[in-house]
Structure 1
Amino acid sequence: MMFSRKIQFFLFCLLAVLSSCTGNFVDINRPGSKLSPEELQRDNYAVGSFLIQMQGVAFPEQENAYQTMIDFVGNYLGRYTTYTKELPKNHTLFNASNAWCAWPASYAPSVVSAFNEVVTLNGKENISYAWALILRAQAFLRFTDIYGPFPLSMDKDNAEVYSSQRDIYLQLINDLDKATAYIASDVNLANEKTVFAPYDLVYKGDFNKWRKFANSLKLRIAVRISNVEPAMARSLAEQAVRDGVIEDNEENCTISYNKSGLWTTAVSWGDSRICADLESYMTGYRDSRLSKYFLQPNVAGSRKFIGCRAGALIESNVLAKRLYSTVNLSETTPGVWLTASEMAFCKAEGVLRGWNMGSGAVRDFYEQGIKLSFKQWGADGVAAYLLDDTSVEADYTDASGGFGGNVTKVSTITIKWNDNAPMAEKMERLITQKWIALFPNGQEAWNEIRRTGYPRIFPVPQATNGYTLLTPNRIPFDKNQQINNRSNYDKAVEYLGGADDYATPMWWQK
């Protein structure tokens, strides 16, 4: 089997936590039927519990899910945080254990099973189905962007059959189209908001916001595939903007959990610290979001905030925790998964590519993205920041007694928008600022680095298992697939178009 059975224990615990509102399950076995509003009011706890299950993977804040799906992969490889345990094997060094490689995929079965239960309990052509399609798209977009080809359960007779990454993207786009079309035409949104609010950890049953989130996912996808499917990307992006994406911080996709996943892994457990790449850009730019993103280290250094280089040879986690800055979060800080700022930067890139993104020039959307990010974090000084045409990334100076060593800056890109700059300079400026604003969504940060080559990042100070890349293009499949699912594994490697290693690029990178 591709997926670990440890997820079953996680789901059992999740359902136990939810027992106060979903404890009296009834047997509703009416495939293909639609429950009436009265029945939904009475029995929605059954469907709602499975939608909560899907949210737990789509937006994984539970500490183990967060660490294995988000921290170990996107956060470290997107250069937001870096691992500071005394472990010589991790994805940053291109040599992680097979357990690390297998973990993200192990959560996929819970999405598939919950999705199928929603359909069995409540049928299709209803809000619960539309919502489940959106949650599945959010979850599986991450899975495919970690591995490439992935089992999407498109083959009903064999759940372990892989689909190509292109086919997965097409399926997710189709799912989002179905979901947004249904939500836009549903006249009972007020009633359904009341019905599903207790089970909606993001928007409390506001399906107009879920529609905007789904359109925003479409715009994110369009930008991602813009180099390999330019015509499709343009059409999808223009449709998403026309139908309405997230434009205000009040609509940001955030989720609260009893303990923030990033707070638990970085602050409580102390397994990671802020990455030197992010700190060096923000220090060089004199970015006032520094104090919103980071905390000062316990040991005074050459500057107020000090990051740790990705892949540093950590000899003492205890010392690393004292020398380097951690994230400025509390237990109750909501997780951030998609923002108005990101959408503004996507529109800016769209205009740069000649797409119709509505009223506004590239500069307008670029500056809007920065302004929205400053407002999101409660940071001041945005007006001066936007006019700064001299500040660049800072040279990195390691903490005294640190583990990564000094390194010279790798970028000279400035902040102020320049309409007369060459296209490459415009893209580097745009993506560098987008990357800073995407924090703490490490998966999207990693996607941007792989997709564009920006921002420019520091080399890893240790040997990287023979690779010359600065960050992996993907994570290898679970090695057990070669034994337990050989024929499907071979097909997946064929879809990859290269070796099952860290170097083979995503379909959308080619």
Structure 2
Amino acid sequence: MKNKFIILLMLVISAGFSSCDEGLEEVNRNPNDPELVPTANIFASATKSYTDFSRDAFNSGRLTQVWVQYWGQTAYADEDRYLYRETSAQSIYQNTYLVATDFKAILDLNTNEETRDDAAASGDNDNQIAASRIMLSYMFYELTNFFGDVPYYSYGSDDPDFQALNVDNNLTPVFAPQEKIYADILKELRASADMINTSAPVFVSGDNIFNGDAAKWKKFANSLILRVANNLRGTDPATATSAINTAVQSGVMTSNDDNAAQAYAAEDLNASPWWRAFVVDGRTDFAVAAPFINLLKGETGNFGLDPRLFEMAAPISASIGSITSNTYERSEDPADYEGAPYAFRNMNGLNFTSYSFTSSNVLKQDYSEVLMEYAEVQFILSEQNNWNQTNYVNGVRASMEKWGVADADIDAFVATLPPASQENVLNQKYIALYMQPNTAYAEYRKSGFPNILLLPGDTVTLPANQIEAQAPANRIESYTFVSGVNGVTDLPFRLRYPQILQTLNRENRSAAAADLANGDTLLSKLFWDVN
């Protein structure tokens, strides 16, 4: 109360001075402290903040990046065995809403008559609204895929189940049913794509995804519809097909030039999350996992040696220092690559030269975090078109081109591709989604692919170099993957709600948990997970 009284007193005093001399207003205004932050600045900060926390060493590296076995941990294997940190779940949940308030601020500034003209200095009003709705859809799609029912916000909606972000009136929002969230995201993306004026920029600056290109934002919205709708294929195929067909007609990504990716700078301060983890923070906690390396080497799956191996991973002789400086000797001998044994509880017994780290294509300051790419669009269309061969080949080729594989090597690999089928298309989709683990995690739950992952109960025989790398007295030649969570015999179906909700929103969190088949556990499937 004392603080409030002081604030009120200062306001009264300042008002009194203002009434005595109107000219004092100009004297007291700081020209370097603008009253209205440009919406372009808010947008640039929001997209970076989102990829910063969603792709960092804890919320990605120790969660989905290891769960889908792109990477494994080099020091310990707790998260590999699904014993994830509560802080990761809490960060994903809370930071999503924090960033969402920034996008909502852009919506408000572009719709409020008092601020709309000022916001227009950053770009076309409607295009700013559309881009912000697209990003909100992207974030809520990932959030609901982690937890299930969550508090949800929808632009301009008066649906009583959509109470999130209304902090002035409601600090304990209800959890919207995931089915309704999916339906509304499809509606939002469709409306956003249709709203975009491709003859005007989205932002004149501050757009670090498409540099203000409205046509690419439109393609991104339509392509995201494919991703969201495809998850409904097992529960509502009619809606999935209709939404996908309309999006294709409206215009989806047609080449890697349309890829949506958050750009980072070639400097430590604004470098990519993985550069900061490995270099700025000095971590060596992650290496490319054996199941993924074995697939690229052709030791599993149906494809033979994949030249993306040499672009996605570094040879075992490469140190972290040589990778971050991009000075290691590149090798195209598959024998020079070994994956880190996944969920191996004796990782500390192996040295860094017994397995492959990720390549310099990833560990660099200005690595761009991909939100969606053309290859994924083609794989979804292959599935939509009954495992179409042309879309399948297009997806493989696009992925290889994105990773810098030589044209001759692409042609040779594509010439030997096995025919399109569910297994072949979705295993190739998994390869193409490397470094996009949240999407790969959703795909696995929806389809059961890739079918090359190590699952609890599986036994692994270590390669000779990793057996020999261990001290003779403690040498282990094989091990069995043991889940760290009782009852989890596959990948977890979801994350538990953050414990902090027991205090902040207990009643609504309890109601959402009660609707889950197995309660608030990793064993409760989401509504679209029917494989």
Q: TM-score, normalised by structure 2?
A: 0.74
Partner of 1:251: 258
Query: In structure 1, what is the equivalent of residue 356 of structure 2?
Result: 325
Alignment of 1:298-447 (within 5 A): 298=317, 303-316=335-348, 319=350, 321-328=352-359, 329=362, 330-352=364-386, 362-380=388-406, 381-388=409-416, 415-417=417-419, 426-447=421-442
Provide Cα deviations, 1:257-308, integer angstroms capped at 9, x if missing partner: 2322234435652221111111111111210010100011238999211112
Residues 307 and 211 of structure 1, relative CA distance in 2, 3 Å threshold: same
Cα RMSD for the two superposed structures: 2.5
Q: How many residues end up aligned between the 2 structures?
A: 420
* Structure 2 equivalent of residue 84 of structure 1: 74
SS in 1 for 2:233: coil
Q: 1:47 aligns with which of 36, 39, 44?
A: 39
- Single out whichever of 262-271 and 236-245 deviates more from structure 2: 262-271
Q: Which residue of 1 aligns with 2:183?
A: 170
CA distance in 2, matches of 1:122, 1:24: 23
The separation in 1 between residues aligned to 2:413 and 2:296, in whole angstroms, is 11
Match of 2:81 among 73, 80, 93: 93
- CA distance, structure 2, for counterparts of residue 249 and residue 379 of structure 1: 14
**1:132/1:376 CA distance change after superposition, 3 Å:** same
Q: 1:17-66: per-residue Cα shift (whole Å, max 9, x none)?
A: xxxxxx955445xxxxxxxxxxxxxxxx52122212331244x1x37862
Q: For the Cα contact (< 8 Å) 2:53–2:59, is it kept in 1?
A: no
Distance 1:254 1:478 in 2: 28
The reply on whether 1:496 has 2:516 as its aligned counterpart is: yes
The answer to whether the Cα contact below 8 Å between 1:74 and 1:444 also exists between their aligned partners in 2 is: no
Superposition deviation, residue 208 in structure 1: 0.8
Measured after TM superposition, the shift of residue 242 of structure 1 is: 0.7
How far apart, CA to CA, are the structure 1 residues paired with 2:206 and 2:524?
A: 40
Alpha-carbon distance between aligned partners in 1 of 2:142 and 2:401, rounded to the nearest angstrom: 27
The verdict on how the C-alpha distance between 1:123 and 1:63 changes in structure 2, with shifts beyond 3 A counting, is closer
Letter in 1 for 2:170: N
Where does structure 1 lack aligned partners over 5 or more consecutive residues? Answer: 1-22, 29-44, 354-361, 389-414, 419-425
Amino acid of the residue matched to residue 416 of structure 1?
Answer: P
Q: From the superposition, tell whether residues 25 and 118 of structure 1 become closer, same or farther in structure 2 (CA, over 3 Å).
A: farther
Runs of 4+ in 1 over 6 A off after TM superposition: 299-302
What's the CA shift for 1:178? Answer: 1.9
Deviations along 1:395-428, one digit per CA (max 9) or x if unpaired, are: xxxxxxxxxxxxxxxxxxxx4115xxxxxxx211
Does the 8 Å CA contact 2:58/2:88 hold for their aligned counterparts?
yes
TM-score (norm 1): 0.77
Match of 2:48 in 1: 56
For 1:263 and 1:209, how far apart are their aligned partners in 2?
27
> What SS does the aligned partner of 1:309 have?
coil
* Alpha-carbon separation, structure 1, partners of 2:385 and 2:55: 37
Q: Which residue of 1 aligns with 2:506?
A: 486
Contact 2:496–2:521 under 8 Å retained in 1 = yes
- Residue 218 in 1 paired to residue 206 in 2? no
| Correspondence for 1:464 among 479, 484, 495 | 484
Aligned equivalent of 1:288: 307
Q: Which amino acid aligns with 2:482?
A: Q
Alignment of 1:20-35 (within 5 A): 24=32, 26-27=34-35
Equivalent-residue separation in structure 2 for 1:24 and 1:208 (angstroms): 35
Aligned equivalent of 1:201, options 196, 208, 222: 208
User: Which digits, 9 at most, give the CA deviation of each residue in 1:197-240, with x for residues without a partner?
Assistant: 32100111001100100101001111111111111101110011
Identity %: 22
Structure-2 separation of matches of 1:259 and 1:444: 23
| Contact 1:266/1:326, CA 8 A, preserved across alignment | no
Amino acid at match of 1:205: G
Displacement of 1:119:
2.5
Cα distance change of structure 1 residues 256 and 119 upon mapping to structure 2, 3 Å threshold: closer
Structure 1 Cα separation of the partners of residues 54 and 241 of structure 2: 38
Distance 1:495 1:56 in 2: 34
Aligned mates of 1:26, 1:174 — CA distance in 2: 36
